[in-house]
Amino acid sequence: MSISIERADWHDSDGETLRQAQRDELDNRYGADTEPGTKPSADDIEVFLIARAEDGSPVGCGALRLLDRGAAEIKRMFVVPAARGTGVSTSILAALEAEAVARGITVLRLETGPAQPDAVRFYEREQYVPIPCFGYYADSPQSLCYERRLEQAS
């Protein structure tokens, strides 16, 4: 699938639609909204990306939320079911990693859960390694946390 990835405002209507689709899918998998901590918002998201198919339709999204110095968290990573398995998620992740490197971020972390084995396989394939849960997720039995150290451009 040929896609383009663009930076978008958090309140972009396509972004809101994609994030709601993700929320609906996660609620179905877990039986309710089980996300610990503060939900991401325009106030704490450093960058928000939308992937679009050739016809301009939104097929995925992802965001970065700054954590501590040199670290950020991947948030709202989502690809519509019809575009899964086509490389969209890999492209979004690569674009998020490039945005992180451009900002001097050396570590990306993320949280997923046991009802998302597809996400676990994807992140492990992309060289994210399991870590002890951090921040809001530290005491969450539904959380699996990962990180990847990024190489900085010279």
User: Could you tell me the residue ranges of all domains in the chain?
Assistant: 3-149
DSSP H/E element including 123: helix 117-125
86: exposed, middle or buried (C-beta count within 10 Å: 0-12, 13-18, 19+)? middle
pLDDT in tens, 20-55: 999 999 999 999 888 888 899 999 999 999 999 999
Q: Is 148 helix (H, G, I), strand (E, B) or coil?
A: strand
| Residues 91-148 pLDDT 10s | 999 999 999 999 999 999 999 999 999 999 999 999 999 999 999 999 998 899 999 9
- Distance between CA 13 and CA 27 in Å, rounded? 21
pLDDT band (50, 70, 90) for residue 154 = very low
Provide the pLDDT for residue 57. 97
pTM surpassing 0.75? yes
Check pLDDT > 70 for residue 90: yes
Q: Is 30 helix (H, G, I), strand (E, B) or coil?
A: helix
Q: Concatenated DSSP letters for 38-90?
A: PPP-TTTEEEEEEEEETTS-EEEEEEEEE-STTEEEEEEEEE-GGGTTTTHHH
CATH architecture of 3-149: 3-Layer(aba) Sandwich (3.40)
Identify the pLDDT of residue 152. 66
Phi first, then psi: give them for residue 136, nearest 5 degrees.
Answer: -60, -25
Tell me, what's the pLDDT at 153? 55
Q: Using an 8 Å Cβ cutoff, are 28 and 5 in contact? A: no
Q: What's the pLDDT at 33?
A: 87
